[in-house]
Chain A
Amino acid sequence: MTKRRFIALVTFLAGLYYFLEFVVPPTVPWRTLRGEVVSVSDTTLTLLVDGAERQVTLLPNLIAYRERPNGAPERVEIQQLRPGDRASVGPSTYLSDYITSVNNFFIVLGSMAWGMGLISLAMVHSGNIRRRRPEWYGSVLFFIAVAGGMVAGLGYGRESGWLKEANDVVFNYLLRPMSSTVFSLLAFHMATASYRAFRIKSGEAALMMASAFVVMLGQIPIGMWLTHGLPSFLQLPVMAQWVLYIANSAAVRGMWFGMMVGAIAVGLRFWLSLERGAFFDREL
């Protein structure tokens, strides 16, 4: 129970920082001046606020936002402000100052997880070897590949030498072409999947197939060749454009709205540890 409460507390605090960083304005609102820059010196900034000139002494906690012509605020150093710029200047709320460090902390934590991944792999493969499971020699190859990959990794960024050669061989000449090959398998899988799945079993299936044919033919020259004599709205490329621009965009937008609201809900449940099942066997 203590462990769970501790996890819930850490989750809440970490989430709270990000939440506050997002919602709290970067400068203290009631001490922020907004106006047109008149002049900037090493020690003072003069702003024209509501027709009156206001001098701001440049203290270390002051930060400035320049307003873009479209109204969007852009964080700049105070010395980068030029006369005529519209800017807001005020004392920092400090939260945003630590965002990079906090992000880096989580990146470091994430990197540590790679070690756990490697341990998990090592456990599976050493188990295979110990118990002489079928094709256990593949697991021996795994350990050799990990060792080879680690050595080759040392060559990253080097200009010359055998380590660079090893890096090139492993990553550029082996791994990348193999990735491309795997990617190209999609063409074959796609063909068999559509052959098997596209059966006109219902009205909806017929509609889906018709739109698939229109888009597929509309994307390639044959579609244009087949229908070039017809009125433009009946030409396959034009129909395909309609499907992609109108029908598709409407569906994508609808799904995005739903998903984003869903994301807020999932985020809230995790942040406040209301989610049951994943980490806790009962709500806290």
Chain B
Amino acid sequence: MEHASAPILVAIALFSSLILWNIFTARRGKAGFIRRIPGLNEIDEAIGRATEMGRPMVFHPGVGEVQNVGTLAALGVLGHVARKAAQMGTRVIVTTAIPVVVPVAEDIVKQAYMQAGRPELFNSEDIRFLAASGDQLALATANVMEREKTAAHFFFGMYDYTSLLLTEPGQRTGAIQIAGTDQYFQVPFFIASCDYTVIGEELYAASAYLTREPTMLGSLIGQDYSKIIVLAVILLGALSVTFLGSQNPIVQILGATR
């Protein structure tokens, strides 16, 4: 069970090659279409609003460890927010309860300000490790929102029950709030308390959507092909079990009998 079985091996090889193939195809200049994701469209709007008001913004990259896929995707979004913020000369405050996120976020934000030619605007104190647990971090972040009178809040990454503890106090400050999580059961809380919500895998697509980088777009197209295969296999499995019984050869090939 700890090692890949034959069907898993085939699936990994197939999905990985599809994704990589599409990445390299896209890099050769074949652009793909990506549907509109309203939550991500509004990020630039929110940064613009904060700039107009002359107030800082808060970026919260979730409560997952740095190797968590949701956190990695969130750091991609942070890269975009920091670049835009640097271009417009607006401060972005990052709060986290995960110590490893601090140097990574610091690197991302610093690089964004340097790229925009405004290194003097970068302040390492704006990347804040505020507490060691999610609930304390939520209270501390709410405090930052109140005190710094922030105008835009971004919540991207993996979230637990603390999501509402962040977004409700944030909502009271009148700031525009945009959230995105791959945690299914936190989505309702974000929908109820944020202006825009990015749901599930849309979070993973966020970097691609925001940067329009060929690598990212190619990766997204590869994912879509992979999902079509998953759906086809499900359909095949369901039909075969319905018409041929649960011990049919297709089910055995798929390794679903045990």
Contact = CB atoms under 8 A, between A and B. Distances in A.
A219 interface: no
Classify chain B: how many residues form its interface, as a range: 35 or more
Interface of B: 1-4, 9, 12, 15-16, 19-20, 23, 65, 69, 72-73, 75-76, 79-80, 98-100, 102-104, 107-108, 111, 115, 124-125, 127-130, 132-133, 135-136, 138-139, 147, 161, 164-165, 167-168, 171, 182, 184, 189, 191-193, 199-201, 204-205, 207, 211, 213, 215-216, 219-220, 222-223, 226-227, 230-231, 258
Contacts of A262: 69, 182, 201, 204-205, 223
A61 interface: no
Contact of B76 (A72, A114, A115, A278): A278
B135 A259 contact: no
Contacts of A263: 69, 204
Interface of A: 22-26, 70-73, 96, 110, 113-118, 120-121, 123-124, 127, 134, 179, 182-183, 185-186, 189-190, 192-194, 196-198, 251-252, 255-259, 261-270, 272, 274-279, 281, 283
A265 B18 CA distance: 10
Nearest to B188: A212
B99 A189 contact: no
B1 A266 contact: no
Contacts of B230: 257, 261
Contacts of B130: 121, 124
Given A179-B133, A193-B193, A278-B104, A252 B184 contact: yes
B45 to A, nearest CB: 20
Contacts of A261: 15, 201, 223, 226-227, 230
Contact of B16 (A258, A264, A278): A264
Contacts, number: 178
Nearest to A122: B129
A72 B191 CA distance: 42
Contact of A189 (B23, B127, B168, B205): B168
A278 B79 contact: yes
Contacts of B103: 116
Contacts of B98: 117
A206 to B, nearest CB: 15
A263 B103 CA distance: 23
Given A96-B2, A258-B200, A266 B129 contact: no
B108 A264 contact: no
B9 A275 contact: no
Q: Quick one: which of B69, B132, B207, B227 has the most chain A CB within 10 A?
A: B69
20 contacts: A23-B3, A25-B3, A70-B258, A73-B1, A110-B65, A117-B102, A120-B99, A192-B168, A261-B223, A261-B226, A261-B230, A262-B69, A262-B223, A263-B69, A264-B223, A265-B219, A276-B216, A277-B213, A278-B108, A281-B111
Top 9 nearest A-B pairs by Cβ distance?
Answer: A117-B99, A262-B204, A277-B79, A197-B192, A113-B99, A189-B168, A193-B192, A120-B129, A258-B201
Contacts of B129: 116-118, 120-121
